[in-house]
Structure 1
């Protein structure tokens, strides 16, 4: 009897095919995220949401697994790039911290200069209707000094979906590695208040005065 091993992983096998076009991921969506921080030896489960139209992102942690003996608190984090502010709310104590953001907003998607490295099946390619075909992309973000490895669902086979499946980042400065797997991606934001920090949070810093000259490229 032939035994078929169903391996639910990204390295099941490459499919040799024509290079696909870079697809456009949803600009506004929510998802479940399982993030592994190898530098801190922990795995964090969260609900995340992106609103690229307003340059903001949130993460609400739901679980933390680590090799530490102490119980770690869960946090609700809000990145508001137009305010140049990151809010970090302790979900147990309610304490809120505000930190500045100096980098530009970067939506979850496939950069235009990403390099396609192949197709991969999630699930088993040997069992009918038990796999999803994905595309694998790699590249480098020189502004934030990291290299990336992205897996997205394939949108070239008659489907309009271009959904993030896995995002891996290797940071050059401290040689750290982060990997996030995304599940249950849904369009839109179910509760827009997730982007609103509590009233007791410190206010955002005042906006800088406008410059005499500006261009479209300065806002990107």
Structure 2
């Protein structure tokens, strides 16, 4: 009888384990990204598309005492990145070797409960968030430890902190998130980044079917 009770108790406990919510696949937000090891800080507007593994960031990059301004389109399925330098007024096309950075909660993440950003004492003065963390190994065999917060409602990212021996500690914070992509052409590179032929076919090459383009 006692053994049956223990089995029931274990089953109840497992059933109560919280499951990660699902972050919307497409959204735009202001972001602040910093890395202690590289001594850089990034502020910009991010367009994020998890359906097609692509992102665009119009950013100000601070490295030490120097500021630079870029428009970066990263197309992960094509393994291609376009970087437009506002100061130099030129565009660089380069292979994209870093892995896709998913800002949703990993399925194997551990729950650390819920908390209010601000206060729950007065209605409207706090934001209820969920806390998740865990470890994962990258394709380059680097172990990354992460801890992040997402809104309880809608599962939008608030902040994500990660640490690894290869990249050090980095933190990304999100503000003013808007669901969806406001401009369907936001992932099409600037004319300076493309050949005349590529720009004429830009909607075919860099739309949802952009995998047709040669790497």
TM bin (shorter chain): 0.7 to 0.9
Q: How does 1:25-174 map to 2 (within 5 A)?
A: 25-61=23-59, 63-64=60-61, 67-68=64-65, 70=66, 72-143=67-138, 145=142, 146-155=144-153, 161-174=154-167
Q: Paired residue for 2:8?
A: none
Rounded to whole Å, the distance in 1 between the matches of 2:164 and 2:89 is 31
Conserved in 2, the CA contact under 8 Å of 1:50 and 1:107?
no
Compare the two structures and name the one with the higher helix fraction.
2
Which residue is 2:191 aligned to?
A: 199
What SS is found at the alignment partner of 2:20?
coil
CA contact 1:34–1:46 (8 Å) conserved in 2: yes
Unaligned runs of 5+ in 1: 1-17, 156-160, 208-220
Match of 2:206 in 1: none
SS of residue matched to 1:138: strand
Q: Report the counterpart of residue 24 of structure 1 in structure 2.
A: 22
Greater radius of gyration (CA): 2
What's the counterpart of residue 177 of structure 2? 185
Give the direction of change, closer, same or farther, for the CA distance of 1:82–1:67 in structure 2 (3 Å limit). closer
TM-score (ref. length: structure 2)? 0.75
SS state at 2:103 partner: coil
Cα offset, 1:137, TM superposition:
0.7
Q: Are the equivalent residues in 1 in contact too, given 2:62–2:68 (CA < 8 A)? A: no
Let me know the Cα RMSD of the aligned residues: 2.3
Q: TM-score, normalised by structure 1?
A: 0.73
Which structure has more RCO (C-alpha within 8 Å, separation ≥ 6)? 1
Query: What is the distance in 1 between the residues matched to 2:53 and 2:104?
Result: 14
- The 1:200/1:129 distance shift into structure 2, 3 A limit, reads closer
Gap regions ≥5 residues in structure 2: 1-15, 199-212
Displacement after TM superposition at 1:136 (Å): 0.9
2:5 alignment partner in structure 1 = none
